[in-house]
Chains A and B, each alone.
Chain A
Amino acid sequence: MTETPLPASPAASPLIRLAGVTKRFGDADVLTDISLEIAASETVVICGPSGSGKSTLIRLINQLEEQTSGEISLDGRALASLSSEGLRALRGDVGFVFQQFNLFAHLTARRNITLPLTTVHGWSQADADARATELLTSVGLPDRADHYPDQLSGGQQQRVAIARALASRPRILLLDEPTSALDPEVIGEVLAVIAALARDGVTLIIVTHEMGFARRVANRMVFMDAGRILEIAPPEVFFTATVHPRARLFLDRVLSPLHGATDE
């Protein structure tokens, strides 16, 4: 971690680089002129109000959406219009965790992890099973391997979803509000798993409203509003000396909601 705030360029050769990226859905500008570089093993937290384009931004990185213009590159290789083979390789290298978990409802926890390995990545069933056991153990669910998603709590489902996203050993994990659909009591167990990944050196890009968690694990905070990045700063700066007034307002409201309400 660096003490000097280096907004857009943390390393000489970034793992991920977005340059002048825009995204439009029909007439709506969802993202405007996004430039961001992320180094290997970095943990970046993206925050901002609803509809600010946070989810769209991370969906671009594994090409669940394609940018309208601008360039996104991974290891210096441009991502636009990849072949189906290239897309498959990209998605093996960039895992994605959804707000609603999206575990395959007809498969057990174990099969959720092994099916992509055997069908997409060509692993043998034995190797995939071993990997599933290893991952389910690492997220604290070794005894839930044969449970179906609807037999698991939300927190357990999200931990299986994280294990599934990690199965192909991606270097990058994108997490889209991973705890927003969870009961408050189980948020902690999911955040603990994510924090452990950050320590293990997986590059994490997390969209979240969990500001306490962000402050602990993030190397950099990215604040977005209305499709633009307004501020990029290390958490110790972001949470104490926010420069942009919109970001300061956001933090005031998120960190002390009642205080913000009585002000108006």
Chain B
Amino acid sequence: MSLDLQAVATGLPALWLAQGFLTSLAVTVIGAAVAFLLGGLLLALRLTPWRAASGFATAAIEVIRNTPLLVQLLFWYFAVYRLLPDTVRSWIGQDHGFGRLPQGPSLLSAEFLVAAFGLGVFFSAYIAEELRSGLAAVPEGQAEAARALGFSPLAGLLYIRLPQALANAWQPMIGQTLNILKNSTLASGIGLAETAYQVRQIESYNAHALEAFAVGTLFYLASGFGLARVLARLAPRNPGGGR
């Protein structure tokens, strides 16, 4: 048995793989942005003194973390997306001349939007929990010093505790970002033409499954490694972890 890389490096398979890679990266980046925004929002709700708001956030986190991602993606795609008004859905389906990746895949498609949103919602629950444990790891003396210096509880949170929580949670949040990349393969289940989807398409097109899977795997390995390195470089100074 030998690898025939020509079978995936030329012609349609090469184009499909390029489209798949770009789609995977795009859905990861946008999904991560949604996850961090919603994760911050969930954390903010959990920290409010209002029982209804913190109760809602707690319940949402439990529901999100205890149901499968694929089921959630199917739910957003087949149930919720269909509830959008026709005008919105037909606008999304049209070609607008913008919102396209270099090799052709559109960001303005039901599959892409639902995948990015669904991944973002799923991982926002984990991001919120990572931030919350990062906050819990900030020593009590930090908040006390802030109070003694006249900071209000909110100012103490924003200027003193949250920056340290972010530093504490940075490594686990890199892990969650990699999880978004890897779990974006599940979006093939709603028809998003990302890497795993294209690999299967090549397999049925020319039966070079091994080559296609090898290249696809290398893509995840390389992009995961690169993403982790870039994010690690952006890490805030972590007082707990030295320098």
A residues contacting B by CB (< 8 A) are 62, 64, 84, 87-89, 91-92, 95-96, 98, 100, 102-106, 115-116, 119-121, 148-150, 164-165, 168
Contact = CB atoms under 8 A, between A and B. Distances in A.
Interface of B: 139, 141-142, 144-152, 155, 159-160, 163-164, 167, 236-237, 239-240, 242
Contacts of A116: 149-151
A193 B240 CA distance: 28
A105 B142 contact: yes
Contacts of A84: 152
Given A102-B144, A115-B159, 15 more contacts: A64-B147, A88-B150, A88-B152, A95-B148, A98-B144, A102-B141, A102-B142, A102-B145, A104-B142, A105-B142, A106-B237, A119-B155, A120-B149, A120-B150, A168-B149
B142 A164 contact: no
Given A98-B144, A106-B163, A119-B159, A164 B149 contact: yes
A263 B155 CA distance: 54
A212 B242 CA distance: 37
A190 B132 CA distance: 36
Contacts of B145: 98, 102-104
Nearest to B158: A119
A164 B145 CA distance: 10
Contacts of B149: 91, 96, 116, 120, 164-165, 168
B20 to A, nearest CB: 41
Contact of B242 (A88, A89, A98, A150): A150
Contact of B144 (A64, A115, A120): A64
B155 to A, nearest CB: 6
B150 A121 contact: yes
Contacts of B152: 84, 88
Nearest to A84: B152
Nearest to B162: A106
Contacts of B139: 102, 105
Contact of A96 (B148, B237, B240): B148
Contact of B237 (A89, A100, A148, A168): A148
A101 B237 CA distance: 20
A96 B141 CA distance: 12
A119 B150 CA distance: 10
9 contacts: A95-B148, A98-B144, A100-B141, A102-B144, A103-B145, A105-B139, A115-B159, A119-B159, A148-B237
Contacts of A88: 150, 152
Nearest to A100: B141
Contacts of B240: 105
Contacts of B148: 62, 64, 91, 95-96, 98, 165
Contacts of A148: 237, 239
Contact of A106 (B141, B144, B147, B239): B239
A92 B142 contact: no
Contacts of B142: 102, 104-105
A151 B148 CA distance: 24
Contacts of A98: 141, 144-145, 148
A88 B139 CA distance: 22
A96 B145 CA distance: 8
Contacts of B159: 115, 119
Given A64-B148, A148-B237, A120 B160 contact: no
A62 B155 CA distance: 18
A87 B239 CA distance: 29
A150 B240 CA distance: 9
A87 B160 contact: no
A104 B167 CA distance: 13
Contact of B151 (A95, A100, A119, A150): A119
A98 B145 CA distance: 8
A149 B141 CA distance: 14
A168 B150 CA distance: 10
Given A98-B141, A106-B164, A119-B159, A92 B150 contact: yes
The 7 closest A-B CB pairs, nearest first, are A105-B239, A102-B145, A91-B150, A102-B141, A96-B148, A116-B149, A120-B150
Contacts of A168: 149-150
